[in-house]
């Protein structure tokens, strides 16, 4: 099978690409490297350094003739989306439309779309939130990600483009960028490993649903052959506070450094956890890696990466 992965130099999609290649699939990757890292790219994949908004994207489809597309490329900074909603929409909505037009033109069978659960539901009315929960995003990022879900529905109705939407929780693990806005496991790990004092935005009580990247990859693979037109939450359904995450990373690193506390950032949901029972029942997906084990794996990756950078 020929599979095109957008954002494949990024954290999650590079792991997805690795898994696809291990399963014998032919993989091509599109990424503009604005946030992705070239070193994340698997050698066996064909790489195109292209923005998904670019008209040159069609040349990739012409060359690769993908059967399926796994779509992860996005502007994923919540705080920046509040400051510059136009750019967020240009990338996430405009870029996705450009991608879907290519999918229709070149008869792609299916799109697996990486959406968001954490930013899409807003402040939860109940938890864990299931797929029927009201959609009330408090950030332009959440708005744009949901808009793309709606476009997929329209493309299926009008053009027969099949899709599966995966609404992600907070995903963590090796390769997550410790220099970005999101990804507190990566950020805390690098700060503690390099002797810097970590910063927690808020009082540490903000909660998220954390899921290890390998478990998220499993869902992407299952979605390639599942019934189409479906939306699935992914996650453990467990609220974890920022302070609990920090303490778990602190223990894995072996540090006694204490955090600073700063003002809450605009656009951030304060509490969310996702009910993934639909994915369990229909996809056969369930998380496997618990938080302590997952953070331990992540910390060892950042420890080795930090030592490599110093030599």
Give CA–CA dist 303/87, Å, rounded: 34
Is residue 281 included in any domain, yes or no? no
Q: Please indicate, yes or no, whether residues 20 and 116 belong to a single structural domain of this protein.
A: yes
The band of 128, judged by pLDDT with boundaries at 50, 70 and 90, is very high
In a domain, 285, yes or no: no
* pLDDT band at residue 311 under the 50/70/90 scheme: low
Cα-flanking dihedrals φ and ψ of residue 49, to 5°?
A: -85, 90
For residues 141 and 201, membership in a common domain is answered with no
Query: Do 133 and 198 have their domain in common?
Result: no
**Phi, psi of 165, rounded to the nearest 5 degrees:** -105, 130
Q: 141, 155, 168, 210: which one is catalytic?
A: 141
CATH number for the domain spanning 262: value is 3.90.25.10
70-80 pLDDT, tens per residue?
Answer: 999 999 999 89
CATH number for position 33:
3.40.50.720
pLDDT of 181 higher than 90: no
122 and 183 co-located in one domain: no
Residues 216, 26: Cα–Cα separation, whole Å: 20
Q: Is 141 a catalytic residue?
A: yes
Q: In the predicted model, what is the mean pLDDT of residues 97-102?
A: 98
Q: Which tokens belong to 98?
A: 């450009």
The answer to whether residue 124 is domain-embedded is yes
Does 86 lie in the same domain as 190? no
pLDDT of residue 272: 95
The residue segments making up the domain with residue 199 are: 177-208+238-270+290-310
Rounded mean pLDDT, 202-220: 97
Q: Count Cβ atoms below 10 Å from residue 86 Cβ, excluding itself.
A: 9
Residues 6 or more apart from 30 whose CB is under 8 A from it?
A: 4, 5, 6, 7, 8, 48, 50, 52, 57, 60, 73
Q: Is the pLDDT at 92 greater than 90, yes or no?
A: yes
Q: How far apart are CA 152 and CA 159, in angstroms?
A: 10
How does pLDDT run across 227-283, given as a tens digit for each residue? 999 999 999 999 999 999 999 999 999 999 999 999 998 888 899 999 999 999 999
- Percent of the chain clearing pLDDT 70 (strictly above): 98
Q: Is residue 284 part of a domain?
A: no
Residue 229 lies in a domain: yes
Domain match, 203 and 220 both: no
Confidence of residue 182 (pLDDT cuts 50, 70, 90): low
The Cα–Cα gap between 229 and 110 comes to: 10
Q: Is residue 276 part of a domain?
A: no
CA angle (209 as vertex; 207, 212 as ends), nearest 5: 135
- Which residues lie closer than 8 Å to 80 by C-beta, 6 or more apart? 87, 88, 181
Q: Is 259 a domain residue?
A: yes
CA distances (Å), origin 240, targets 87, 114, 205: 31, 22, 9
266 in the same domain as 139? no
In a domain, 282, yes or no: no
- The number of residues in the chain equals 311
Judgement on whether residues 127 and 202 belong to the same structural domain of the protein: no
List of residues 6+ apart from 42 with CB closer than 8 A:
14, 17, 18, 21, 27
pLDDT in tens, 155-168: 999 999 999 999 99
Give this prediction's pTM: 0.95
Counted domains in the chain: 2
Q: Do 46 and 165 belong together in one domain?
A: yes
Query: Are residue 77 and residue 12 in the same domain, yes or no?
Result: yes
């Amino acid at each position: 099978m020929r599979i095109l992965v957008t954002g494949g130099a990024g954290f999650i999609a590079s792991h997805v690409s690795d898994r696809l290649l291990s399963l014998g699939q032919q993989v091509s990757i599109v990424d503009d490297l604005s946030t992705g890292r070239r070193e994340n790219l698997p050698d066996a994949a064909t790489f195109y350094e292209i923005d998904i908004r670019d008209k040159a994207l069609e040349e990739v489809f012409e060359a690769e003739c993908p059967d399926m597309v796994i779509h992860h490329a996005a502007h994923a900074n919540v705080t920046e989306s509040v400051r510059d909603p136009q750019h967020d929409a240009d990338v996430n909505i405009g870029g996705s439309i450009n991608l879907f037009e290519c999918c229709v033109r070149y008869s792609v069978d299916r799109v697996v779309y990486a959406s968001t659960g954490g930013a899409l539901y807003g402040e939860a009315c109940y938890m864990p939130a299931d797929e029927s929960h009201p959609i009330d995003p408090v950030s332009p990022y959440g708005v744009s990600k949901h808009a793309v879900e709606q476009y997929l529905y329209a493309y299926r109705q009008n053009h027969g483009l099949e899709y599966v939407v995966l609404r992600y929780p907070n995903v963590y693990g090796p390769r997550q960028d410790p220099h970005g806005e999101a990804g507190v496991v990566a950020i805390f790990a690098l700060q503690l490993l390099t002797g810097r004092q970590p910063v927690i935005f808020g009082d540490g009580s903000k909660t998220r649903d954390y899921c290890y990247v390998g478990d998220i990859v499993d869902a992407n693979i299952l979605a390639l052959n599942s019934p189409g037109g479906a939306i699935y939450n992914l996650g453990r359904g467990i609220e974890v506070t920022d302070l609990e995450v920090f303490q778990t990373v602190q223990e894995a690193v072996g540090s006694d450094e204490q955090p600073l506390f700063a003002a809450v950032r605009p656009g951030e949901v304060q509490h969310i956890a996702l009910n993934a029972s639909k994915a369990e029942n229909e996809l056969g997906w369930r998380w496997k890696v618990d938080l302590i084990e997952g953070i331990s794996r992540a910390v060892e990756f950042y420890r080795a990466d930090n030592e490599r950078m110093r030599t």
